[in-house]
Amino acid sequence: MSTTLFGHRPSSHGPFRNLVQVGYSSSRSSPQVETQREEALLSISTYAGIPGFFYTKPFFLPPRNPNDGTHGAVEKGLGYGAFGVVWSVIDPRDGQKVALKRIPRAFHNPITAKRVYREFKMLSCLKHDNIVNLIDVVKTERYANFDEVYFLFELMQTDLHKIIVSPQPLSLDHVKIFVYQILRGLKYLHSARIVHRDIKPGNMLVNSNCLLKICDFGLARMDDPYGEAVLTQEVVTQYYRSPELLMEATRYSYAVDIWSVGCTFAELLGRRILFPARSPLEQLELIINLTGSPSPSDLEHCHPDACAFVLSARPRHANASMLHALAPDVDEMTVHLLSSMLKFNPHKRISATEALKHPFLEEARLRYHSCMCSCCHVESPSTSSCASSTPSTDSAPSTPGKFSSRYETKTAANAHLSSSCSTSSSSSTVVRRRYCCDLDPVCPILLPLNLDAGLRHVSDAKSALWQCICEYFHQDDRTARVLLNRNAVNFANFINSSVAQAKEVPASHRWH
């Protein structure tokens, strides 16, 4: 018997079903043996009715056979990044599996402390289908013990990197639906004046229905339209790093995310990294082989030595054939959108809003809002005779922006436009779907550009984050909170799990 992760919507779109292979097989029936109850990593903290007093109640993991080592890993590590550790755990309030992100040594230095503060402030305000959802913060009882930070997120089943390197078939329809969702999430982020700065396949979480969510906001920060802040170039994994970052530009903006989307887009098509360089200088060479040699006006704000290096190289022309060679089904429309993301000059790069209007994504938008999104709603199905049924004259959404309609489709004739439903020779099920007014919305909240202004010291960031978390708890009407359970069977393993030490790729080249 197979099982899937809790909390996911049922699969409703045939072509995208079973892309992600998940679950485990239970062991064959065996004689009854004595089972043991083990405590989960999270326990419940409930208000006792007296200010300052709470009841703490442990949550027990499902019984298991002590001789079965494979079935026992109900809670386990999922990933180890440069800034945090992620485990799959059980939320004791509802028994669902969630992702617990531990950020050790959160207040080790001012840079890390400010990053954690920004991540929480952003995620607590962002609510979007294509951005990972912050479920809660694990409560720390006293400020004196506030040395690490623990965030609870919804648990997804895989990520784009794992899908790309897997043997699973990946059609052009899959590529379209993934790119559409990435851009949809980015439009929302950029409208909130947030630059993610670490867009890559590994940070695109995916579930078995191909719903995609952007995660890992550890490097995200507010945009700097006036060039007042000192921005680091040590952002974005090298393979997805834009030319302006490789050339140490003193100013950069949302275009660095779009370049990374272009690299991810190409990787989905070709199932390989677009610019597999071993060093930042080689990365720059590979980029110029594709885009052609930049003009001096394309190098605004870049380091003078980097400009001299690029302009002294032999002139090269743009080579679109490299993009056509990514996959057999790559056509002119695909290359047009992809090349518009991979412009050397960031000012000539397409924006997320503009990219969403590209005809390459029209079908993906229709598919997404027909069966995957939470913003559009299915009305009660009706059954009608095939002879007397007449499709509605209302049309399904084909362009982004303000739109509202009711769309009727007979599944026998338009299966690609509607949700799955049963049909028969004498009658067909008609699905009526009400589409939302704004298919690709912007963020209704504008976060302040000076989000972390005044946090000069570790103590400033720590105090500000503690205050924000206290306000977060106060605003939430739930009384039950979660705490780390020191008696949990996996507590020692969880606390001792450390972040990755080795960097995935070399740091930026230092121009002198």
Say if CB 62 and CB 55 are below 8 A apart. no
Instruction: Name the phi and psi angles at 269, rounded to 5.
Output: -70, -45
pLDDT tens sequence across 416-432: 333 434 444 445 666 67
Q: Indicate the domain borders of the chain.
A: 33-104+126-155+477-496, 159-363, 376-434
pLDDT reading at 459 higher than 80: yes
Check for a shared fold between 33-104+126-155+477-496 and 159-363. no
Amino acid 477: pLDDT: 56
Question: Mean pLDDT lowest for which of 9-23, 313-327, 452-466?
Answer: 9-23
What's the Rg (C-alpha) of the chain? Answer: 25
Written as six digits, the tokens of 18 are: 């079973």
Q: What is the mean pLDDT of the segment spanning 177-187?
A: 98
Instruction: Find the angle CA(137)-CA(140)-CA(146) to the nearest 5 degrees.
Output: 110
User: Between these two residues, 205 and 505, which has the higher pLDDT value?
Assistant: 205
Beta strands in 303-393 (DSSP E): 377-378, 382-385
- Helix 280-291 to helix 304-312 angle, to the nearest 10 degrees? 50
**DSSP string of 105-142?**
TTTSSHHHHHHHHHHHHHHTT---TTB--EEEE---S-
Q: How confident is the model at residue 314 (pLDDT cuts 50, 70, 90)?
A: confident
pLDDT reading at 88 higher than 70: yes
User: Between these two residues, 21 and 145, which has the higher pLDDT value?
Assistant: 145
pLDDT reading at 398 higher than 90: no
| 32-50 core/surface letters (b: 16 or more CB in 10 A; e: else) | eeeeeebbbbbbbbeeeee
H or E stretch covering 433: strand 427-434
How confident is the prediction for the chain on average, in pLDDT?
Answer: 81
> Which of 438, 437, 396, 386 has its CA nearest to residue 419?
396
Written as six digits, the tokens of 140 are: 């720390």
* Distance separating alpha carbons of residues 408 and 418, to the nearest angstrom: 8
Amino acid 491: pLDDT: 93
Q: What is the mean pLDDT of the segment spanning 410-414?
A: 33
Q: Which residues contact 270 (CB under 8 A, 6 or more apart)?
A: 326, 327
Q: What is the mean pLDDT of the segment spanning 11-22?
A: 46
Q: How confident is the model at residue 340 (pLDDT cuts 50, 70, 90)?
A: very high
Amino acid 511: pLDDT: 63
> Which of 199, 257, 193 has its CA nearest to residue 444?
193
Say whether domain 33-104+126-155+477-496 belongs to CATH 3.60.15.10: no
pLDDT tens sequence across 218-232: 899 999 876 656 555
pTM: 0.82
Written as six digits, the tokens of 402 are: 């303000």
The question of whether 440 is a catalytic residue gets the answer no
CATH code at 159-363: 1.10.510.10
* Distance separating alpha carbons of residues 370 and 65, to the nearest angstrom: 43
- Alpha helices, DSSP H, located in 280-432: 280-291, 304-312, 321-324, 332-341, 352-356, 362-371
Q: Are strands 406-410 and 427-434 parallel, antiparallel or unpaired?
A: antiparallel
Amino acid 23: pLDDT: 39
* Distance separating alpha carbons of residues 184 and 370, to the nearest angstrom: 16
pLDDT reading at 207 higher than 80: yes
- Residue 454 burial by Cβ neighbours in a 10 Å radius (0-12, 13-18, 19+): exposed
Q: What is the mean pLDDT of the segment spanning 180-196?
A: 97
Q: Are strands 382-385 and 221-222 parallel, antiparallel or unpaired?
A: unpaired
Annotated active-site residue in 91, 136, 198, 298: 198
Q: How many CB atoms lie within 10 A of CB 168?
A: 14
Q: What percent of the chain has pLDDT over 70?
A: 74
Tokens 């030595």 correspond to 305
H or E stretch covering 431: strand 427-434
Q: What is the mean pLDDT of the segment spanning 323-349?
A: 96
* Distance separating alpha carbons of residues 100 and 112, to the nearest angstrom: 19
Q: What is the mean pLDDT of the segment spanning 148-154?
A: 96
Written as six digits, the tokens of 120 are: 């929480």
Q: Which residues contact 33 (CB under 8 A, 6 or more apart)?
A: 65, 66, 67
127 assigned to a ligand binding site: no
Residues in the chain, total: 512
